[in-house]
Structure 1
Amino acid sequence: MDDARGDEAQVDPRTVRRTVLAAAGLNLGYFWVQVAVALAIGSVALFADSVDFLEDTAVNLLIFVALGWPLARRALVGRVMAGIILIPSVAAAWMALVQARNPEPPDVTALVVTAGGAMVVNGACALILARIRRHGGSLTAAAFLSARNDVLVNLTIIVMALVTWWTDSGWPDIVLGVVILLLNATAAKEVWEVATEEHLAAKALAGEDIDDD
């Protein structure tokens, strides 16, 4: 714990801002690539993941703006981010319901190539955000958790593409939408818990009674 705190203390706020701004740029750039492919081939998984890129862009931009705010306000933004993380899950659930009516398989080659590119982008974001994930509390925790989970989603998309090729069915793509939903729900829960801890810490510093709200 002491080492982790020491690492956190050495991170300059300007470095944090530059890092999250770079991550926001990477996410926004690949969002346009992935959403175009997802709509072209009718993939639930790629569509949900493209929304994830847009969500990650918003999260990192919020960090850039709110990093210098007081602890109580950062805790509030952290709770908002927990809700934002659920957006791709809702989109994935909606798309899954639509595709379930006519589960045609998406193009496998496009799935693999696009998911591979997304994995590179998300992996790069996870690496640069890993060194600052303990600086800024729930704000940077939200960004790191999203990037980490996105790498897992991209790997799952590649595996799903192979299953799609083998079965010639659209159901693997639909099932992956549920996986994305669960991953993002877990990340949202973790961010909410960190934000709640910050909320309680802010109340303690202000001399207020600590409750479980």
Structure 2
Amino acid sequence: MTPTETAAPDAARRSALRRAVLWVAGLNLAYMVAELLVAFAIGSVSLAADGVDFFEDFAVNLLIAVALGWSAARQATVGRVLAGIILLPAVAALVMAVLKAGDPEPPAAGPLFWTALGAIAVNLVCTVILARFRSDAGSLTAAAYLAARNDLVAGAAILVLAGVTRWTGSGWPDILLGIGLVLLNGPAAREVWEKAGEERLAERALEGELDDD
């Protein structure tokens, strides 16, 4: 097989990945707006945190589309930036939880349930789209896949929260779930950071081998 023949599938794969992440970015941006509107209307900490999480997914996938074709070292740097972005929803959830603790009014269970169900549907589509590209661009697509996977877990938790809120009539389950989202995003950010570090070390090792020659 000639170099040209080898490069063609790689170029086609990168093009397919770029289209996939742009689709995922668009879906996340659209649902972020919808979810935040509902969150502020009903006063839900967990739903607002999940809405910010959709912004995280939008940013991650948009950065992947931009960074495709860069060197491994530059992709590793972007991967570490993405690890920081993953923490943004966690920080937002923590701040909102602290503020809401002073006035723990329960959010409306009905809108909470249906919005969470929509979030699960969107994230399921995104996870399926990204699954076949999970290892194509190292820490970049790992960040996108982990973010979509975590959003599925968060959406399922909010569905349960809607039932608990209706049953208890308390705002504390919503606050506690917001804190739970903090714990969910932390390990994903660490995993992406570590993977980006491994890519940087591999790139440096390759440069060292070339220098020895």
TM score, norm. by length of structure 2: 0.92
- Matches of 2:162 and 2:90, distance apart in 1: 20
Where does residue 67 of structure 2 map in the other structure? 66
Measured on the aligned residues, the alpha-carbon RMSD in Å equals: 1.4
Where does residue 5 of structure 1 map in the other structure? none
Moved over 3 A (4+): 8-11
Where does residue 199 of structure 2 map in the other structure? 198
**Please, which runs of 5 or more residues in structure 2 have no aligned partner?**
1-8
Where does residue 38 of structure 1 map in the other structure? 39
Q: After TM superposition, list the pairs within 5 Å mapping 1:94-173 onto structure 2.
A: 94-173=95-174
Bigger Rg over Cα: 2
Matched, 1:179 2:180: yes
Of Structure 1 and Structure 2, which has the larger fraction of its residues in helix? 2
Show CA shifts across 1:172-204 (max 9, x none): 000001111011111101101110110100110
% identity of equivalent residues: 58
Show CA shifts across 1:112-168 (max 9, x none): 000000000011001110100110000000000000000000000010111111110
Which amino acid is the alignment partner of residue 21 of structure 2? V
Show CA shifts across 1:8-53 (max 9, x none): 9797100100000000010001011000000000100010000001
- Matches of 1:199 and 1:39, distance apart in 2: 41
Which amino acid is the alignment partner of residue 150 of structure 1? D
**Please, which runs of 5 or more residues in structure 1 have no aligned partner?**
1-7, 209-213
Which amino acid is the alignment partner of residue 65 of structure 1? V
Q: After TM superposition, list the pairs within 5 Å mapping 1:82-97 onto structure 2.
A: 82-97=83-98
- Matches of 1:40 and 1:34, distance apart in 2: 10
Where does residue 211 of structure 1 map in the other structure? none
- The alpha carbon displacement at 1:59 in A equals 0.4
Q: Secondary structure at the match of 1:86?
A: helix
- Matches of 2:93 and 2:12, distance apart in 1: 36
- Matches of 1:36 and 1:175, distance apart in 2: 21
